[in-house]
A = this chain, B = another copy of it.
Amino acid sequence: MKNQNKKNYHHGELKPALIQAGLEILEEEGLDGLSMRAIAARVGVSHTAPKNHFDGLHGLLAAIATEGFSRHATEMRKGVEHAPPGQERLDAAAQGYVRFARENPALFQLMFSPRFREKAGEELMAAGEESYGVLMSIAKDLNWEKAGPELGNDLESLRTELMLWVFVHGYASLLNEGKLPRTADGEPVFNVLDVMPRFRYNHE
C-alpha cells in the first residue's frame, strides 16, 4: 500500500517524479533553471530530499540525461519503423535525431554536456549507447547493401557508422547553437538531408 493518496511525508514515487520535474523545467526555463532546489520545489519536497535517491546534483542530472537518451532513441525509431530498409530508413533516423534536438534543445544540451565525461555513471553510458545503437544498426544494414555481407569488415563498418554519426550529431549541435543559417521565418536553410553526404552512394 504505497501509492495511495497519502501525500504527506513519504512521497512514494519521488525518484521518477524528480526526473519528470527536471524535464519540465528544462522545457520551460532551459538548462540554467535546472537547479537542485528548483527541481525539489516543483515536486514539493525539501531541497535535500533527492539525496536519498541520487548521488548529488550530478547524479540527478545524469538520470535526467539518461531519460533523455531513451526518448532520443524512441524518437529515432518512430520514423524508422515505417520506412523501408536502406537509405530511406537511414534518412528517417537522421531526421529523428535532429527533430529530437530541435524539440528538446535544453535536454539535448544536457545530454551532451561535458559535465558527465568523467563522472558518467553506467546507466548514462548505456543509455547513450542505446541512442547511438539505433543509428548504427541502420548504418550497418546500409553498409551490407553497399559492400555485400562477405566484405563486412568490422573496422570498415565502424568507419561508416562513425561518418554518419559524426555528421548527424554535428548538424544537430550546430543547429541547436544557432550557428546554421536560417531563413527569415527561422527555418534552417538546409535540413539534415540537404547537407548529409549520401553515404550509401559513395561511388555514384
Contact = CB atoms under 8 A, between A and B. Distances in A.
Interface of A: 31-32, 105, 109, 112, 114-115, 117, 128, 132, 155, 158-159, 162-163, 165-171, 173-174, 176-181, 189-190, 194-197, 199, 202-204
Nearest to A118: B178
A61 to B, nearest CB: 13
19 contacts: A31-B114, A105-B114, A112-B177, A114-B177, A132-B179, A158-B189, A158-B190, A159-B190, A162-B195, A165-B170, A165-B174, A166-B171, A166-B174, A167-B170, A169-B173, A169-B174, A170-B170, A197-B199, A197-B202
B176 A114 contact: yes
Nearest to A199: B197
Contact of A203 (B115, B159, B204): B204
